[in-house]
Amino acid sequence: MEHGRNIDALAADAIDHYMFGLARMEDIRRDGPLIYTEGKGLEVKDAAGKSYLDMMSMQTRATSLGFGNEEIAKAIYDQLCKLHYAGCFANVADTTIRLSVEIAKRAPKGMTHTCYGGSGSEANELAFKAAKQYHHATGRKPRAYKIIARWNAYHGATMGAQAATDSLGTRHASEPGVPGYSHVPAPLNYRNPFGMEQRKYYDFCIDYLEQQILHEGPDYVAAFIGEPIMQTFGVQVPPDDYWPRVREICDKYNVLLIADEVISGFGRTGKWFAMQHWGVTPDIITFAKAVTAGYFPLGGILVKKEIAEAIPHFLHIQTYQGHPGGCAAALKTIEILERDKLVEKSLSNGAYFLDKMKRLDNLAIVGETRGLGLWTAIDFTSNKKTRATLQQEQVGKIAKRMRQHGVLAGQNVYGIELAPGLIATQSQLDRCVDVAEQSIKEVMKEERLG
Ligand SMILES: Cc1ncc(COP(=O)(O)O)c(C=O)c1O
């Protein structure tokens, strides 16, 4: 009873004093906020003492090494005691340089330079500024300022990153936004907005990009940005020829290719960077989240050598860029990923997981299960013939039911997304599939579906 009162008091304090990001206050008031108090491995406890298996790396896919990793916590502590800050301008900490070297070793060939910010949004801002300053510096396209992004993409919350963003509705409420952004269709699995045959739709997406560059004027287009695997509607793995052909188009018009690897970087898909699945070297990669396994806010850009070297004076400064605490966390994260072969395990355990998930395809409301590495999704449908979407509220009920059964999954519009920490064991993956199956069946029965 006493315990219950404490939770209620905490929830009331949350409502009275905390502004939730992207959660409706009416939902928070009705269902209560989700207050967590501690975690170990992939198990996390809420304020009522209930334990959950976190199969979504805390919804944002940041906690890629689970909770309570003392090695990373100690690396941060030791660094903060030794040198917690080194300034900016020409100043830099030794730890920050060491991180840049370690990232370059694992990057697509030729990507050598890094610059840091504090988040994925800042990483994308950095990328846009680097792209514009590159064109200005080389003098070949001195007026190139436009950015082309993709329908349904998410690139962040700051104004430039948000202008590139097209999901979650966040862009509209804050408009007018930053000028110079336009959007093109992106590859989607299972269904597409035009009802085209899928292969035709993929070709259309690629052709559309070229037409958009021509329409905007190649001399004005600085960069094209895309998530290698778009998150919206659940893990949109593109066809194998998509990124190679996009690379060719970007090269043809001297448009820089920015790969937003804020989710997919550092092992999520079974490679250090997802673009390595297709052997494509972007001009700039943006990263955040798993670079420190969520133990410290850090993001950044990884830039091709010739692009970094063509910018003689990068006009950008942030007080906390390359913060030594974050860089120490990232160095330890990389060391653990390598030592425990977690990038390789993400690929093999991801294949194991997807294979187990495939049995869900037999359920009447499951349209498709898909994924790459430890990043998978269940795409729901109300009609397998037409591939019509299931109602979002019904998908939400499935995610909620999984939570009631002790497994945290993410709703991604019409699908359920699963992105566990890379330390997930096969028995945890099995449990997740069992709980997903049970929850889907229960909701089907209650909602009279299928
Ligand atoms: C692909 C992608 N890019 C950028 C961002 C923005 O990162 P942050 O929330 O760290 O600013 C996110 C966040 O979810 C993301 O998923």
Residue 139 lies in a domain: yes
Supply the pLDDT for residue 5.
55
Q: Do 299 and 421 fall within a single domain?
A: no
Q: Do 144 and 288 fall within a single domain?
A: yes
Q: Do 270 and 293 fall within a single domain?
A: yes
Whole-model pTM over 0.85? yes
Q: Do 159 and 246 fall within a single domain?
A: yes
Atom nearest to 264 CA in ligand 1: 1
- For 265-283, b/e burial (b = at least 16 CB within 10 A) is bbbbbbbbbbbbbbebbbb
Distance 148 CA to ligand 1 centre (A): 17
Q: Do 124 and 239 fall within a single domain?
A: yes
Q: Is the CB of 232 under 6 A from ligand 1?
A: no
Residue 288 lies in a domain: yes
Instruction: Residue 147: give the domain boundaries.
Output: 71-339
Tell me: pLDDT of 106 over 50. yes
DSSP code per residue over 273-284: SGGGGTT---SE
CB 225 within 8 A of CB 260: yes
Please tell me the distance from the alpha carbon of residue 93 to that of residue 323, in angstroms, as a whole number: 8
Q: pLDDT tens digit string along 166-220?
A: 988 888 888 889 999 999 999 999 999 999 999 999 999 999 999 999 999 999 9
Q: Do 252 and 353 fall within a single domain?
A: no
Please tell me the distance from the alpha carbon of residue 389 to that of residue 142, in angstroms, as a whole number: 45
Q: What are phi and psi of 305, to 5 degrees?
A: -55, -50
Tell me: pLDDT of 274 over 70. yes
Distance 62 CA to ligand 1 centre (A): 10
Residue 70's pLDDT band (cuts 50, 70, 90): very high
- Does residue 176 have a cis bond before it (omega within 30 degrees)? yes
Q: What is the mean pLDDT of residues 252-272?
A: 98
List all residues 6 or more positions away from 25 whose beta carbon is below 8 Å from its beta carbon. Answer: 15
Tell me: pLDDT of 4 over 60. no
Q: Do 48 and 127 fall within a single domain?
A: no
Residue 450's pLDDT band (cuts 50, 70, 90): confident
Please tell me the distance from the alpha carbon of residue 412 to that of residue 233, in angstroms, as a whole number: 5
Q: How many structural domains are present in the chain?
A: 2
Q: Is the CB of 121 under 6 A from ligand 1?
A: yes
Q: pLDDT tens digit string along 365-422?
A: 999 999 999 999 999 999 999 999 999 999 999 999 999 999 999 999 999 999 999 9
Q: Do 294 and 318 fall within a single domain?
A: yes
Tell me: pLDDT of 3 over 80. no
Q: Do 345 and 329 fall within a single domain?
A: no
Kindly report the protein residue whose alpha carbon is nearest to atom 4 of ligand 1: 155
